[in-house]
Amino acid sequence: MKDRNQQAFVEEAKELLAGLEEAVLEIERDPLNTELIGKIFRTMHTIKGSSAMFGFESIASFTHELETAFDCVREGTMQVTPELVTLTLASRDHIASLLLVVEDGLQVDEALTSKGNAILRQLRTLMPQAAEPGVAAKTPAATVSDPNADSQKSVLYRIYFKPPENIFLRGLNPANLIEELAAMGDEEHVVHADSPSVQEPEGADLCRSIYDILLSTAHPAEGIRDVFIFVEEDSELRIEKLYDAAPLGKDKWQPLLETMRASKGVPTSSLQALINETEGRREKVKVDATADGGTGRHQEQRAIHSIKVPSERLDKLVNLVGELVTVQARLTIAAMNLTDPTLTQIAEEVEALIAELRDNAMSMRMVPIGTTFMRFQRLVRDLSVELGKEIRLVTEGEDTELDKTVIERLGDPLVHMIRNSIDHGIESPDMREAAGKPRTGTICLSAAHSGTNVNVTVSDDGRGFDVEAIRLRAVAQGMIKPDSHPTEQELFAFAFAPGFSTSKEVTSVSGRGVGMDVVRRNIEDLGGKIEIASKQGQGSTFTLKLPLTLAIIEGLLVRVNDELFVLPLAAVKECVELPPWNARRGNGGQLINVRGEIVPYVRLRDYFEMTGSAPSIEYAVIAEVEGKRCGFAVDSIIGEQQVVIKSIGKSYKDVKGISGATVLGDGALALIIDIPVVLSTAESERERLLRLASADVRVESSGSLAIRGEAQ
């Protein structure tokens, strides 16, 4: 990429393309929506204009024809048809690939060019004859003031202003208005007196002056009009585009001003003729080509409400904040050890500030999930056409914000899940009709906050899971015994097993049995979880439970032997002593009585097969995961701490039960416990043991309840 402006153009163009896709998909449902047509046209126009400005001819010329097509649609000489929608989407993709090429600083190769030409050829067949390129350029319309003027470059305007006679008595002064114009660019004017006696406006009660103004500005015509907002209705005001082919310097205005001075109200066309005489014919052609432009970018006039920052800088910021959190923890420990009240107070203030800074930094990385959802409108449309199904995608909760890393990594799993719903979930229109459902199937994609999690659900009103088919398939693949009767949830879980597919045929979309296990792995890598709910004949719902952020968590620091562990505080409910009479040593399968409630617990010492012996009184950290409570037995509890999650590297990624590591204030390392994984491992172990020893379950009613689950 050559320079930052070009980079900015590419970024902007990408955003415009995303918006374009949205608008095009919407227009397919609502083909007469003039607002949308206008939006599509403007997007094309902006892309064309700015790509030409940054020297990307390939994009500009391609977009030009598309723009022409939508100009026809705007004028009603062309209809929005499914073919046009398909071609527009293809064009959008083509522009996107052109952008990729220029972004890498490469030249557009022949294959891409011919692909673009193919699209354009098809597009031309849809267009009315008169609008074909070459004929499309209109006769010089530049004499008319054009409110859609392109704001990118300076345009020379001629403004003819005859204020209302009572303008002074209304507390307004033409001189101020002209001053405002002058602030917008280069300005010169001549004043004509309507009545020869009044030349000097100051002190005069009535104004009889006529102002003939030349203004070269990058502001659009309506920006100029705004200056006259309070007098426009009562004035004679003409704002006319004189020349916009190239900047025309003030030094070249003299002949124009002389003509304007010599003849009051000289027609603008005469002035244009004068310019063309001096500037030559070459430019005139350009006037024709650009005069039919549409709405430009007016955003520039708005105040800046948000700024764009490259995401690496945000990542860097978050990393630095992470380091800061670590140092702050050290400060807190040091202050505690020194027992100096002044230092302690400072440490506390620093802690509060850093907590706020951290929240702020994290919130900067939060982005709404809506943009990700948008991608799927296109996916659903393309796939349903390909498979001959009628499917509507409904999205909810687009404003829900998630850490950008989570969002980035959520795209692929969602693609898989939606493909799955389209292919396996939604039936063909005929089948749906036969089943008494509307022909058009609905896939609903929604996001919502739920505590420290965000739930993203993909639900469809399709055929749902065929529990019996899954069971038979699982038996056939040797995953379960023919005579076993697993629960629905257990059967659903097979959908995520590698190589498992109940699809009778392999389509181009899915059915190869890869995918759902990848989805599950991706989601688990994100610290999330998938749940399935399904009813045969009525549809399925996949719920992804995702953490809000990945970088920093509140943790509870605990110790076993000399090893430190962090339990994510979000899941921790309370800590209790684990008296020896409850701490039966065994291979898991232990329960503790927490105020009358029986809670299973896992001894981390046993789970990680650590040597050494436990102290006489252990502690249990009671955590709650998905409504289930479970204890973690540790030697001692050190305290709450913010921890910055560091990856422990590829070599350890298969270690179950550890989700990461963190560096503590004093430089020591602590491993972060992956609570759900430890729980499910321990649970299956306990169930195994309980099954083995089910005959030996005893409830001792001596105040402490214990189930002896050890294998005999």
Q: Identify which of residues 178 and 644 has a Cβ nearer to another protein in the complex.
A: 178
Smallest distance from the beta carbon of 187 to another protein, in angstroms? 15
Minimum CB–partner distance for residue 8 and another protein (Å):
26
Query: Binding residue for another protein (CB under 8 A) from 111, 229, 262, 695?
Result: 229
How many residues sit close enough to another protein to count as binding (CB under 8 A)?
A: 14
Contact present, 150 and 219 (Cβ < 8 Å): no
Interacting residues of 705 by C-beta distance below 8 A, sequence separation 6+ = 591, 593, 598, 699
182 binds another protein (CB under 8 A): no
Q: How far is the CB of 676 from another protein (least distance, A)?
A: 48
Report the 10 Å Cβ neighbour count for 311: 14
Residue 484 as a binder of another protein (CB under 8 A): the answer is: no
Contact flag: residue 222 with another protein (CB under 8 A): no
CB of 560 to another protein, least distance (A): 59
227 by DSSP, 3-state: which?
helix
Q: Is 449 in the site for another protein (CB under 8 A)?
A: no
Q: Which residues contact 209 (CB under 8 A, 6 or more apart)?
A: 162, 163, 174, 191, 192, 193, 194, 198, 199, 201
Residues between 280 and 319 that touch another protein (CB under 8 A): 303
Residue 216: beta bridge partners? 156, 186
Backbone angles phi, psi at 214, to 5 degrees: -110, 130
CB of residue 185 to another protein, shortest distance in Å: 18
Cβ proximity to another protein: between 172 and 246 the closer is 172
Q: In what order do the strands lie in the sheet with 209-217?
A: 185-193, 209-217, 155-162, 236-243
Distance separating alpha carbons of residues 214 and 191, to the nearest angstrom:
12
Token couple for 132: 């074909």
Contact 119, 91 (CB under 8 A): yes
Minimum distance from residue 195 beta carbon to another protein (Å)? 20
We find the least distance from the C-beta atom of residue 223 to another protein, in angstroms, to be 13
Distance of CA 326 to CAs 11, 338, 662, Å? 35, 19, 9
Least Å from the CB of residue 466 to another protein = 57
Least distance CB 178 / another protein (angstroms): 11
Q: Is 198 in the site for another protein (CB under 8 A)?
A: no
Burial degree of 470 (CB within 10 A; 0-12, 13-18, 19+): buried
Asked if 204 is part of the footprint of another protein (rule: CB under 8 A), the reply reads no
The token duo for 619 is: 């502690």
Contact region with another protein (CB under 8 A), list: 42-50, 172-180, 356-364, 382-390? 172-180
Given candidates 76, 105, 134, 171, which one binds another protein under the rule CB under 8 A?
Answer: 171
Smallest gap, in angstroms, from Cβ of residue 203 to another protein? 9
Please list the helix, strand and coil fractions of the chain in percent, rounded to the nearest 5, in that order. Answer: 45, 20, 35
Kindly list the distances between the CA atom of residue 250 and the CA atoms of 154, 223, 255, in Å, as whole numbers in the listed order: 12, 21, 11
Instruction: Of 106, 228, 102, 104, give the one whose Cα is nearest residue 159.
Output: 228
Q: Decide: is 232 part of the binding site for another protein (CB under 8 A).
A: no
> Which residue number, 205 or 505, has a Cβ lying nearer to another protein?
205
**262 is an interface residue for another protein by CB under 8 A:** no
Structural contact between residues 243 and 287, judged by C-beta atoms closer than 8 angstroms: yes
Q: Does 179 engage in binding with another protein (CB under 8 A)?
A: yes
Applying CB under 8 A, among 34, 77, 97, 166 the residue interacting with another protein is: 166
| Contact partners, residue 700, CB within 8 Å, separation at least 6 | 706
Contact 146, 291 (CB under 8 A): yes
Check residue 230 for interaction with another protein (CB under 8 A).
yes
Q: Which of 2, 29, 138, 170 binds another protein (CB under 8 A)?
A: 170
Note whether 41 binds another protein by CB under 8 A: no
Candidates 166-174, 465-473, 577-585, 669-677; binding stretch for another protein (CB under 8 A)? 166-174
Is residue 206 close enough to count as binding another protein by CB under 8 A? no
> Do the strands 597-603 and 628-634 form a parallel or antiparallel pair, or are they unpaired?
parallel
Interface stretch with another protein, choices 77-85, 121-129, 228-236, 261-269 (CB under 8 A): 228-236
Q: Is 636 in the site for another protein (CB under 8 A)?
A: no
Residues that bind another protein (CB under 8 A): 166, 168-173, 176, 179-180, 229-230, 234, 303
